[in-house]
Structure 1
């Protein structure tokens, strides 16, 4: 009978407290999860808009494999341009800065990853100490000076039950991936800037050709005017009028030569070089393509070919993991620490087996009252996620608009070019006819001047449109991602949501 009583009394003493502990722990975790269930992101990733009608109306040939290659500038068939872009990509301080940011993010990823592993450290110390005569130290040590020698091996590990550390590592991975893609975006921006400056340089050279041809024509007309005056077919006024146009044309040529040097200086700067580098940059010889081939499914695949879109997508991923880190902070932290070593008051006994010390210290901490700091932190991470999502959505919209702009401009440029060629031919024919009549004494110099100005204006416009064709070709390659083939996040951009682990 007494044994039964003893067994009955053992149950509440040993089993109930253990069950109660688990119940209390489960209740604490449940209450922690309920304390933030009302805090969630409000934004979601959107599907890219349709572009089938835009592609169909563009007049371009459609092909699933028509994305630009990584050396898209080689399509202009200018070897000097190829060399300049390669030099810029190799020497630019901007790209080296982007690479440094990637290395910095990689180091932060390593730091975050260290939290998933145990940390082990060794320590050793020797202390000369006088022990109190009235303290807890017993005789014969109390009241004496002693050397305390100690060496320990310390081990610590955080039990990541709620995934806080794992999510922090994933967030660091997302940030590093975003910066890697930003580096590729910077390369695309730099190569586009080199190409566009090179196009401007070629345009200036061609404008110079037009201006020089006009000057030569004006010199010939001035000689013809002198001959007409000698033959008493003209007046001194005609001579002065013909001579008055020469300084203005020479001034225009000087301005164009200045613009050539400025564009060369800009190219040298884009290459990360000093102004002397531009001395070896010769006249561009770029050729525009007469046939445009476009990818057939731009909206669906654009997110995998535009580095700016992909970088924003990785930032969304990182923000999603940061939310999970913020949620895990509501739950208890469980840490294990242990040490093993030697401790002795005399160095002669330091290595004795009896000098060994051992210790294990499990610890748990739970936030009970923190003044709303954890909820505020989670709210901030939710807002950061919403911001990243909306930035992604806007980047996709801007990317589609960018492509649509290039296609619209290319489509209408064909018609403008055809009309401009007719305008140049008509103006040149009229100028030639007036010059013949002027030589025969049947037209005035004012008529010659008027037709010259009209022809010059039309030729300048044609040169501008030819440069515009080159620029649009470069812009289209840039808008399509410049040959980028990234590593995409695991989740689908259109369906990605933050996983609620509460």
Structure 2
């Protein structure tokens, strides 16, 4: 009889299902595939390799074991990682809670209720006396997922959890890249300090010679004041280099999750090797699974699509079933007798007919959230490809600049060697050699600066290529294709 009544209610509900309508509501965003973005001409002249995706411990190729230790320390103690990991646990817990809503609920309860009912309400023998009712009950409730909305809600929460997990990988990649870049900057600051000290020494020697020449009447105050200005400039560059060292040490300490004193204990870096990165032959096709920000954005699109289905199912009838059974008695001595048993079966169906537009507004909002997720995904994908192209172009330019600067350095070094040879042979003056020495120091500074930039851009390119991240290794197995829209490709 209960089943017949429930089926009748369902038939009536379906007959009026059009009262709350989602007609006219739809999404507009369209995820772009990586192959839809033109890259052939930009990448055509660049070197490709079938095995050139960065590996996870890419920083080891920079050639400094001390950097390996610093990155390992940062990956253990940086607060940003703790925040990212906490967000992952939070998202996973939310997915588990959403999954629990799909399952039946069984509860057990027991209690005693005491009451005195006035005789004016119920006459004796019940009224006018204090009575107790002892009860124990086992209840079961289940909400049927007739339209797949509860499963879709779980899939959406699972997608958000996967996105949070990938976000944590992105934080690790950014952190390791920032440590490498700050470490490189620290090394450059030490080199700049050395060159500034060399310029101070050169200028002091030049100043002594100029004073002697002024005293001898060979030069005048103009040359002396000009040399003094050179010394002041060298002192300024020395102070700037010391500031660069201190700033880099503090930056590294912060990245390690430590106080500023930790940075003071970091030894002078050795010269890093610029990472040689070839362009993967599978770019841009595999970029979708290699960049954590792209992968996370993709999962958020999938989650938004499932949220739409959740909102759509709220327009349809909902069927619930409640069952309860137990014992209740006013006489504790008869509590376990057959007469104390009771039971309840309560199927129920509900259908929205008029809600003032709340369901339509909710669905419209989910459509907009999906369009937003798609737009953000497209933006990240476009930005990723252009970032790679930009970094590769910069590295190509630095190769040319370094070659030219190396020639300038070699020429300045040869001129310095020749000037010193002339001085030792009594042909040239030491003053002339000091002037040539200035050109050599300028060339050394220019070479060091270009090498610093080359390393910095190389690290940024590794980060742009995903830094060894691989979606198939970093996230759980995808939801079966029969239950969710396949990932964007």
- Length-normalised TM-score, structure 2: 0.88
8 Å contact 1:167–1:324 — kept in the other structure? yes
Equivalent residue in structure 2 for 1:402, among 387, 394, 403: 387
8 Å contact 2:106–2:139 — kept in the other structure? yes
Residue 213 of structure 2 corresponds to residue 213 of structure 1: no
Report the Cα offset of residue 35 of structure 1.
Answer: 1.6
1:108-165 per-position Cα deviation (integer Å, ceiling 9, x unaligned): 1111111111111111121111235465x68632443211111111111111101111
8 Å contact 2:6–2:348 — kept in the other structure? no
Q: 1:63 to 1:42 in 2, by over 3 A?
A: same
8 Å contact 1:178–1:310 — kept in the other structure? yes
Report the Cα offset of residue 239 of structure 1.
Answer: 5.2
Residue 11 of structure 2 corresponds to residue 26 of structure 1: no
> Quick one: distance in 2 between partners of 1:408 and 1:70?
24
Structure 2 match to 1:63:
49
SS in 2 for 1:149: strand
Structure 1 match to 2:164:
179
- 1:440-451 equivalences under 5 Å are none
> Quick one: distance in 1 between partners of 2:419 and 2:241?
28
- 1:327-366 equivalences under 5 Å are 327-366=312-351
> Quick one: distance in 1 between partners of 2:427 and 2:80?
64
> Quick one: distance in 2 between partners of 1:289 and 1:40?
50
SS in 2 for 1:83: helix
Report the Cα offset of residue 475 of structure 1.
Answer: 0.8
Report the Cα offset of residue 19 of structure 1.
Answer: 8.7
Q: 1:199 to 1:17 in 2, by over 3 A?
A: closer
Equivalent residue in structure 1 for 2:150, among 159, 165, 179: 165
Structure 1 match to 2:482:
none
Equivalent residue in structure 1 for 2:32, among 33, 46, 67: 46
Structure 2 match to 1:378:
363
Report the Cα offset of residue 66 of structure 1.
Answer: 1.2
Residue 256 of structure 2 corresponds to residue 268 of structure 1: no
> Quick one: distance in 2 between partners of 1:160 and 1:361?
17
1:25-81 per-position Cα deviation (integer Å, ceiling 9, x unaligned): 43234x26x8214211111111112423322222x2x12221111111111011111
> Quick one: distance in 2 between partners of 1:173 and 1:345?
49
More displaced stretch, 235-244 vs 76-85: 235-244
Residue 99 of structure 2 corresponds to residue 108 of structure 1: no
> Quick one: distance in 1 between partners of 2:176 and 2:6?
68
RMSD (Å), alpha carbons: 2.9
SS in 1 for 2:270: coil
Report the Cα offset of residue 86 of structure 1.
Answer: 0.8
Residue 193 of structure 2 corresponds to residue 193 of structure 1: no
> Quick one: distance in 1 between partners of 2:69 and 2:246?
19
Structure 2 match to 1:94:
80
> Quick one: distance in 2 between partners of 1:366 and 1:57?
63
1:277-321 per-position Cα deviation (integer Å, ceiling 9, x unaligned): 112211111432474322112111001000000010110011011
Residue 367 of structure 2 corresponds to residue 417 of structure 1: no
Structure 2 match to 1:8:
none
SS in 2 for 1:297: coil
Structure 2 match to 1:13:
none
Q: 1:403 to 1:441 in 2, by over 3 A?
A: same
SS in 2 for 1:363: strand
Structure 2 match to 1:469:
454
> Quick one: distance in 1 between partners of 2:271 and 2:27?
50
8 Å contact 1:45–1:493 — kept in the other structure? no
8 Å contact 1:307–1:486 — kept in the other structure? yes
